[in-house]
Amino acid sequence: MNGGEESGVSAPAPLEWKFSQVFGERTAGEEVQEVDIISAIEFDKTGDHLATGDRGGRVVLFERTDTKDHGHRRDLERMDYPISRHPEFRYKTEFQSHEPEFDYLKSLEIEEKINKIRWCQTANGALFLLSTNDKTIKYWKVQEKKVKKICEMNLDSSRAAGNGSIASSSISTSPKPYLANGGCLDKSYSYLSNDFSFPPGGIPSLHLPVVACNETSLVARCRRIYAHAHDYHINSISNNSDGETFISADDLRINLWNLEISNQSFNIVDVKPANMEDLTEVITSAEFHPTHCHMLAYSSSKGSVRLIDLRQSALCDTHTKMFEEQEAPGSRSFFTEIIASISDIKFGKDGRHILSRDYMTLKLWDINMDSGPVATFQVHEYLRPKLCDLYENDSIFDKFECCLSGDGMRVATGSYSNLFRVFGSAAGSTEATTLEASKNPMRRQVPTPSRPSRSLSSLTRVVRRGADSPGVDTNGNAFDFTTKLLHLAWHPTENSLACAAANSLYMYYA
């Protein structure tokens, strides 16, 4: 990832996105049940598995099928980012992860809605993942179990046909039928003989069932439950690169867990003031560094991203670095603080860049440069005059997620009317594509702007404005604030995207 630095490498050409698949698409006029709305989405590290969570507490797993049997060749192809390959996924299994609960001490209902899903390291062919609702994190193991069935009894069909019972054919027709223990029965079966001799060739009439495993079924088992560690709603969970620990974050605290220990966690960040009236900001998202197990970042409702180092102190209330953009003088309004709140952050695969999403923009930060973002992308600038309406209907508090491509060349996030946007993040790129989550994603595509990016400093801090449009889409339709694309994920090694619109999961590739 160039992240706005001068490198002499020309920006890649804009991608042409194509529709790949849809799961759970609504028919016209069909009413979507609240419990079916997707609330979390995540690819695993290989990209061969995809998990979604919904408001009904269910986790649904999908499996890649078009690369299943290609072995080593598949890995070689992925290194070169294949063009126009059609990724295909199929439904794998689903399980109920969380149930609605009631906290009697606080008279509080706890929803079953899945807030986040994170994949853990696979082992022995089993899949492991973490899922969380507002209060409880669960560690799941999904494994194929062989289904044992009796495949044959090795019966003489002519004897079995007499009365159809297995018992009838297990008695020999010889005058002196033999038993396994050496005894024998006469015709009245009333006494045991002391003759322990076996007939030549063994006992032909003793039939044992033959058990075979021809079928497999997927079984999801909850390995551990991490509960009672958060007073406020959990907004993030993130695995550490050490494969042993993970963090969970709520509004005021971040806890560090060991995967093997469910009854104890360590509080590493606590921003709760002595007097709650002095509270000025809350934690909105947190994520571990992809390769350094001692580093993590968290964002706040004031629009800042803090980087902390676990080697410095056991309690990391003081940050190592803080990334925050200073607001322009005279631009402050009633909505400034609300729209500055960061809803999601993601580390780039290289670990050097952090992508943050606030209500109006995406910002790309270089962790070596805390003076400001290296790039800013306007997601839906045309909504700025409508902030009052968005505040009235609570849309201004919607939490949009963001993601980066595996090669770091592009970033993506969602918007309203089931639209999502893809921006080029390489130096000099003007790529800014708008697509609609539908079977025809190009229907609402906004052409890539022709004007060049504007350089802000010698460090090439750039602002790329996606094609600003009025309060109507390219078809002249008014934007629908009730339909929004909040959740999306980029495949770790290919240019393909999975995004959730209500209860539907859409897949795209380029």
DSSP string for residues in 462-488: EEEE-----SB-TTSPBP-TTSB--EE
What 8-state DSSP symbol labels residue 185?
B
Residue 159 backbone phi and psi in degrees, to 5: -75, -40
Q: How confident is the model at residue 263 (pLDDT cuts 50, 70, 90)?
A: very high
Query: What's the chain's Rg over C-alpha atoms?
Result: 30
Would the pTM of this model clear 0.85, i.e. be above it?
no
29 pLDDT above the threshold of 90: no
* Structure confidence by residue, pLDDT tens digits, 293-329: 999 999 999 999 999 999 988 888 888 999 998 877 7
Alpha helices per DSSP H over 211-362: 336-340
pLDDT of residue 108: 85
Encoded tokens for 182: 């050496």
Residue 427 backbone phi and psi in degrees, to 5: -60, 130
Over residues 158-178, the mean pLDDT reads 45
464 pLDDT above the threshold of 70: no
Give the span between the Cα atoms of 333 and 387, in whole angstroms: 11
**Is residue 342 within a helix (H) or strand (E), and if so which, with residue range?**
none
Give the span between the Cα atoms of 175 and 9, in whole angstroms: 94
pLDDT of residue 25: 81
Nearest to residue 153, comparing CAs of 132, 133, 174, 168? 168
For residues 221 and 334, the model is more confident at 221
Q: How confident is the model at residue 102 (pLDDT cuts 50, 70, 90)?
A: confident
Burial of 236 (0-12, 13-18, 19+ CB in 10 A): buried
475 pLDDT above the threshold of 70: no
How many helical (H) and strand (E) elements, i.e. helices and strands, does the chain have?
5, 32
Encoded tokens for 234: 């959990």
81 pLDDT above the threshold of 60: no
CATH annotation of 18-148+215-509 = 2.130.10.10
Give the span between the Cα atoms of 498 and 88, in whole angstroms: 11
What 8-state DSSP symbol labels residue 170?
T
Mean of the per-residue pLDDT values of the chain: 81
Give the span between the Cα atoms of 381 and 377, in whole angstroms: 10
pLDDT of residue 136: 96
Residues of the chain with CATH 2.130.10.10: 18-148+215-509
Q: How confident is the model at residue 210 (pLDDT cuts 50, 70, 90)?
A: confident
* Structure confidence by residue, pLDDT tens digits, 4-14: 444 445 678 88
Give the span between the Cα atoms of 112 and 96, in whole angstroms: 10
Over residues 252-279, the mean pLDDT reads 95
**Is residue 423 within a helix (H) or strand (E), and if so which, with residue range?**
strand 419-424
For residues 267 and 313, the model is more confident at 267
Burial of 151 (0-12, 13-18, 19+ CB in 10 A): exposed
pLDDT of residue 95: 96
- For residues 475 and 461, the answer to whether their CB atoms sit within 8 Å is no
Over residues 243-270, the mean pLDDT reads 96
